[in-house]
Amino acid sequence: MILEILMVILFILIVFLFLIIIKPLNIHVLFNNNNLEYNGEITINHYLINVEYNFKNKALTLNLIYKSHKLKIKTINLEKSDEETSQENTSKEDITNKLKELYHLLKKAYPDIMELIKLLTKTCKFNTSKINANLGLNNNNLTIKTCNIIWAISAPFYPLGLQVLLTPEINKFLIKTDVDISFRIILINVIRIIIKIFTNKNLRNIIKILRN
């Protein structure tokens, strides 16, 4: 009897996971950045669940949606304390040095990144989306090299509906982005991406730099 109950529970869990995986996530990103001053939001929809993240308020909101009705379930404030924020205040020189380190990591991990891009092109289905960016790092050589890598990484997404316009800014420090992306993620492929990232040291180091 117990074995039968366990088998039924296992069957229900398998069906539940299958239903979650078979339906893609719908994601919409509206984001702008001016020298690391962020604003915008990310919206994720999956079945009746809606998740919203606000960059300015650093708030994560979980909603339940049925037809045109939205019911707020919970809001989580992710804003850091004043002490943590003050520790993270960095100068343009610090940012430039970090970007230099990131550039060398990107260059080293370029083959791994391109393999990851191939997986992403099979995972993401874009609606008409665009990214406008201006990049200047007070170092023209580093600016052009970084832009070249970004152009190469973004190129495979053009046929999928993601347009990336990147403008190098010469003799100035400027990191500015304006993002409007709408896409669907096929969840079954996400597992392969996560495995690749966690088993690749170069990709893990890049994520570590971006997080810091």
Do 146 and 137 touch, CB atoms closer than 8 A?
Answer: yes
Q: What is the pLDDT of residue 179?
A: 94
Q: How far apart are CA 198 and CA 185, in angstroms?
A: 19
The CA distances from residue 188 to 123, 155, 159, in Å, are 8, 24, 22
Do 172 and 138 touch, CB atoms closer than 8 A?
Answer: yes
Do 52 and 42 touch, CB atoms closer than 8 A?
Answer: yes
Q: What is the pLDDT of residue 197?
A: 85
For the entire predicted model, the pTM comes to 0.76
Beta strands in the chain (DSSP E): 25-34, 37-46, 49-54, 59-66, 69-77, 124-126, 129-137, 162-168, 173-185
Do 176 and 35 touch, CB atoms closer than 8 A?
Answer: yes
Do 146 and 135 touch, CB atoms closer than 8 A?
Answer: yes
Q: What is the pLDDT of residue 178?
A: 95
Residue 11, C-beta contacts closer than 8 angstroms, at least 6 positions apart: none
pLDDT per residue, tens digit, the chain (212 aa), is 566 666 667 767 766 666 667 778 899 999 998 887 889 999 998 888 899 999 888 888 999 988 778 888 888 887 765 554 554 556 667 777 888 888 888 888 888 888 888 888 888 888 889 999 999 988 899 899 989 989 988 988 888 889 999 999 999 899 999 999 999 888 777 777 888 888 888 888 888 887 76
Q: How far apart are CA 64 and CA 72, in angstroms?
A: 6
Q: What is the pLDDT of residue 148?
A: 92
Residue 141, C-beta contacts closer than 8 angstroms, at least 6 positions apart: none
Q: How far apart are CA 170 and CA 147, in angstroms?
A: 12
